[in-house]
Structure 1
Amino acid sequence: MGACGGGGDTGPSSGASGEPVAGGEGRILTLSDPRSLDPAALGNAYATTGVVGNALYGTLMTDPGGKIRYSMAESFQTTDAGATFELKLRSGLVFSDGTPLDAEAVKFNWDRLKNPATAAISRSEASMIASSDVVDDTTLKITMATPVPKYAQAVLTSSMNWIASPTALEKGPQAFDANPIGAGPFTLRSWTRQAAMELVKNPRYWDAPKPYLDRLTLRAALDSSQRYNTVLTGGADAAVESSWVNLDKAEQAGLPTNLIPTGGGIFMGLNTRRAPFDDVRARQALAAAIDRDALNQAVYSGTGEPVDTLFSKDSPYYSDTPLATTDRARAQRLLDELAADGKPLSFVFSSIPTTDGKAIAENIQAQLSSFKNVTVKIRTIEVTELAALRTTHDFDVLVSSAFFQDPEPRLWTTFHGSSAANLPGIDDPALNESLATARTATSEAERKSAYATLQERLAELTPVVFLSQAAPSAFSSKNVGGLVQYGLGSLQPEELWIQH
């Protein structure tokens, strides 16, 4: 499982068989509570709130097996290598209140995500669009700021994939959270923050007879042991998962699992905008000090896969350039240099309160305690605070990720100097040029060369320290069918059904 790294998802490994059965309630455990039901505030990935967005708003498109599959969109095409795109919607789409979901609604949502005042999680992806024009009710013409041939991936892995009613959004955040209007498979019945969200089947959903379930209950379970035990003992039907340990346990127990294998992975983002990590020696010292195998044992009981290279060996862009090499002597030498310059390394590790999040921070702190001239403090933050920190940049070290089936546009949004989603704030001309070349390359050889340069610059500049492969996954009880994800681990609730 840990060695996966290509395109396409695995599983389910077992589960309900035969034709889907209609009816019943699905109880799903998630990895975080949303702070708002506004699509702009929802992250479209396993570790954030992908299943919430999919339930309320449906999808424009997905990518099972790494290939684009259209849902509410009929097509999303470019004829000029990504300089412009044409989005065609299915005709007759309606929101849950019966009003039309048309090209104007898509334009409204995407323009809103671009607006800095919205503070959208997906602002970086939406900002790649220079302008858009409504051609007719089902057609939107998009002009890009710069050509992005694989822009469909940016749409489906972000909140751009979710279209909410403009009329409902214009009523303000409080009214919208009370009654979010989308065109998804479910509508909101009740939401008790920090507890449970209850949804019911949307009779106007475009893809009948889906959803198969009549009701859906979502609640966050941050503790990984609790997630696994709750599903195992029948207290929940499925869980969105991030833990290699739980995936391993589920497979051993013969439970259905679904994992999207990816390149890249989970990293420590080092804030290069301010001290101490505006000094490259501090970043290189940290990268040389960390033993990723030891972290894998401590956090994932050895079931994870440390990230040594940006791409897996089965990727066409694989290069054996190590992103970092554990070298305790070099780490201590750099730490001593910094101390001699009056800058002993001291930083705060901002950690989310999930089982894995706490374990990573505590293990890093423990590993660094064996070195001189370095001090680490841990600050626990809520998952919902992450979005704010991406805007305020008020952190020293923060765990984030850059994982992908196709590296474009994920690597561009993570590391390009002009990207709003560039968490470490790195802005290096050679790195920027390699990302731009890889984006518009017309041959695989040119693209591979550009990504080789990117890996060399990342290893030298060390804006992040990759720790382990991501585990965008889900598992369920044995009577559940339709355990399907897309993108960056975004569970599709309309596919779920339960064998009664």
Structure 2
Amino acid sequence: MAWVFPEKEVAMERKRVLGMRVTFTILVSVCLLMFFQGSALAGKYGGILKVGIKWDARKYLDPHSQKGYLVIWTTQQMYNYLARERNDGTIEPRLAESWRSEDGGRVWIFNLRKGVKFHDGTDWDAVAFKWNVDRMMAPETKCYMKAFRLWVDRVEVVDKYTAKVTLKRPGYLIASFLGGIFKPKFISPAVVKRYGKDWVNHPAGTGPFMFDRMDPDGTTYLKRNPNYWEKGLPYLDGVVFKMYRDPQARHNAIRAGEIDMEMSASFEHYLISKSDPNLVVSVAPATPYGLNLGANVTMAPWNDIRVRKAILGYALDRKKVCRTVYHGLVGPKVNPCSSAHYYYEDLNDRYPFDLEKAKALLQEAGMIGKTVILTVNNTTSSYASIGTILKSDLAKIGVNMKIEKMEYITWIRRFYIAHKVPFSTPLSYFNDPAGWVQYVGPTAPMNPTQAGVWLDKEKKVNQDPALLKILAAAGKAIKDPERKNAFQALFRHLVDKAYYAGVTSPPIYHNFRPGVKGYRWRLLNLILDTVYME
């Protein structure tokens, strides 16, 4: 049967077809344009990127027990996290596709990403997840993330790609798994079982780059993972990490073209880098950590809150620090937390620059004419520059200050671990309130201020029971407004007690040689998967 259309309808049909053709042509043009733009933006495959990093004595690449610069930068390329924070603070799923809490936050269910392989060809699955968390909890691992051992009750395999974690008490567990410098990375159980203690010479993760070899001086070679689960990445054939003891030597190397990237460059070289036509300077859009003044409250005179408030608080001209040391790229802050965090609260009114108020407190404490020592590490001259500003202003009110420079590894051991350094410039990496149990309080593995410690071996007297209550509340908070309230209560307390007083969130920047493209800032996830060389 044939269909016969009236003349008017035929004309309308011709018009409709013509319109469809025009629309189709436009769509094809847009798609072609997007294709060619995408091709232009896509990275170029090949090339070996030579990266200069800060020196580190530790060359044992176990991401569960070691956390020096070499381990930080290399293992971020070799391993993945369950999830990581974006620059706006939202959470991006990685090895876990989704998660949920049950029983008021005491039980957490993780749905793991399917189709991911370790570098040795074995599967990433719930068995591997359980093995890694169990290893971090085992005392013999000497894991620096001790919160897992103190917090996690048990880990169970529900099915191949589902894991269940039961906590000893309710808590915001996902915060402990978010990507960053001091967060869990997942290694292949099969490699450890095969090689025993020698597995660190054959490490295998799920990251974009695989371990190749390490020279006796610590220079580490990584190669492209051809089976990386993020299709099309990485672009580079490999990455070489070379350590430098002297920040100036590292900067000279990037300017001379001996390396292609100066990762987390020292800020004293910022203006020189900006003026060098052979360097491309990339500054992070958000700084995910805070630079602070911190004092050991169990050591005199820092056991006197008047001294802490005067020197950590009122006597430091934070605006001058930001203007002269950091060239106005960042602003002053008293809150020890990163100003990039979405719960950040401006606490600058707690300690405005006020030398008269500082002098009055120091007079009450009998500190006029006395001397204090500020110990800074040698990774950047910025810390000593901050000390110089503070020293000059303290001298105006009758207090002397000496600045002691210490080699970085020695400083870590003496300040963070042995608690032998009374006054220094600690960094705070834990943004989420649930994470700060690792940084303050009686069970914190790295507690340079000794805030919240027990005053006797029988644990009958704690010097700050209020801090313990705040930490407990922060650990239990699962959703807003409880989480925001816990976050702000914790940092207000740290500031009011002058355990920590923030200085600023210092800018992070990298230097690149021309032709190195594609680097993406993702807070402290300093990963080179999108980098390519023209």
Partner of 2:105 in structure 1? 82
> In the superposition, relative to structure 1, how do residues 85 and 69 fare at CA in structure 2: closer, same or farther (>3 Å)?
same
> In the superposition, relative to structure 1, how do residues 247 and 149 fare at CA in structure 2: closer, same or farther (>3 Å)?
farther
Confirm whether residue 51 of structure 1 aligns to residue 52 of structure 2.
no
**Aligned partners of 1:186, 1:384: CA distance in 2, in Å?**
31
**Aligned partners of 1:469, 1:108: CA distance in 2, in Å?**
36
The number of residue pairs the alignment matches comes to 479
Larger mean CA deviation between 61-70 and 170-179 belongs to 170-179
**Aligned partners of 1:23, 1:439: CA distance in 2, in Å?**
45
SS at match of 2:439: helix
The correspondence for 2:407, drawn from 345, 362, 381, is 381
1:377, CA displacement in angstroms?
5.0
1:389, CA displacement in angstroms?
4.6
Partner of 2:284 in structure 1? 259
Per-residue deviation, residues 204-244 of structure 1 (Å, max 9, x unmatched) = 43334322111211123465555555445533322322555
Partner of 2:295 in structure 1? 270
Partner of 1:33 in structure 2? 56
**Aligned partners of 1:266, 1:230: CA distance in 2, in Å?**
27
SS at match of 1:20: coil
In the superposition, the TM-score normalised over structure 1's length comes to: 0.80
Confirm whether residue 64 of structure 1 aligns to residue 86 of structure 2.
yes
1:395, CA displacement in angstroms?
2.1
The correspondence for 1:460, drawn from 491, 496, 510, is 496
Q: Contact 1:50–1:490 at 8 Å: present in 2 too?
A: no
Per-residue deviation, residues 33-81 of structure 1 (Å, max 9, x unmatched) = 361211024449xx77533112222333333333322333333332455
**Aligned partners of 1:58, 1:17: CA distance in 2, in Å?**
28
1:320, CA displacement in angstroms?
4.6
AA in 2 matched with 1:289: A
Partner of 1:280 in structure 2? 305
Q: Note the 1:25-424 alignment, pairs <5 A.
A: 25-33=48-56, 35=58, 36-43=60-67, 49-65=71-87, 66-124=89-147, 127-149=150-172, 151-152=174-175, 154-157=177-180, 159-169=182-192, 175-192=198-215, 194=217, 196-221=219-244, 227=250, 230-241=253-264, 243=266, 255=280, 257-262=282-287, 265-287=290-312, 288-297=314-323, 299-309=325-335, 312=339, 315=342, 317-320=344-347, 322-339=349-366, 344=370, 346-347=372-373, 349-361=375-387, 363-365=389-391, 367-376=393-402, 378-383=404-409, 386=412, 389-403=415-429, 407-424=432-449
AA in 2 matched with 1:202: N
1:384, CA displacement in angstroms?
7.1
Larger mean CA deviation between 225-234 and 83-92 belongs to 225-234
1:466, CA displacement in angstroms?
1.5
AA in 2 matched with 1:457: H
Larger mean CA deviation between 178-187 and 413-422 belongs to 413-422
AA in 2 matched with 1:61: A
SS at match of 1:147: coil
Q: Percent identity?
A: 23
RMSD: 3.8
Partner of 2:17 in structure 1? none
Q: Contact 2:79–2:205 at 8 Å: present in 1 too?
A: yes
Larger mean CA deviation between 395-404 and 241-250 belongs to 241-250
The correspondence for 1:429, drawn from 438, 451, 465, is 465
**Aligned partners of 2:216, 2:360: CA distance in 1, in Å?**
49
Q: Contact 2:291–2:506 at 8 Å: present in 1 too?
A: yes
**Aligned partners of 1:207, 1:387: CA distance in 2, in Å?**
38
**Aligned partners of 1:41, 1:443: CA distance in 2, in Å?**
31
Larger mean CA deviation between 489-498 and 58-67 belongs to 58-67
**Aligned partners of 1:431, 1:472: CA distance in 2, in Å?**
31
Larger mean CA deviation between 408-417 and 478-487 belongs to 408-417
Q: Contact 2:179–2:525 at 8 Å: present in 1 too?
A: no
Q: Contact 1:335–1:345 at 8 Å: present in 2 too?
A: no
**Aligned partners of 2:229, 2:485: CA distance in 1, in Å?**
44
Unaligned runs of 5+ in 2: 1-38, 453-463
Q: Contact 2:296–2:423 at 8 Å: present in 1 too?
A: yes
SS at match of 2:49: strand
Q: Which has the larger radius of gyration?
A: 2
AA in 2 matched with 1:391: I
**Aligned partners of 1:206, 1:263: CA distance in 2, in Å?**
27
AA in 2 matched with 1:64: R
**Aligned partners of 1:223, 1:176: CA distance in 2, in Å?**
31
1:85, CA displacement in angstroms?
1.5
Larger mean CA deviation between 449-458 and 246-255 belongs to 246-255
**Aligned partners of 1:273, 1:413: CA distance in 2, in Å?**
19
**Aligned partners of 2:209, 2:307: CA distance in 1, in Å?**
49
Per-residue deviation, residues 65-115 of structure 1 (Å, max 9, x unmatched) = 333223333333324553221223333433323334433333233233334
AA in 2 matched with 1:283: R
Larger mean CA deviation between 285-294 and 115-124 belongs to 115-124
Per-residue deviation, residues 354-382 of structure 1 (Å, max 9, x unmatched) = 33344445554555455535453514132
User: Whose RCO is larger (CA < 8 A, sep 6+)?
Assistant: 1
1:491, CA displacement in angstroms?
1.2
1:26, CA displacement in angstroms?
0.9
Larger mean CA deviation between 273-282 and 441-450 belongs to 441-450
Q: Contact 1:248–1:303 at 8 Å: present in 2 too?
A: no
> In the superposition, relative to structure 1, how do residues 408 and 189 fare at CA in structure 2: closer, same or farther (>3 Å)?
same
**Aligned partners of 2:397, 2:171: CA distance in 1, in Å?**
45
Q: Contact 1:187–1:201 at 8 Å: present in 2 too?
A: yes
In the superposition, the TM-score normalised over structure 2's length comes to: 0.76
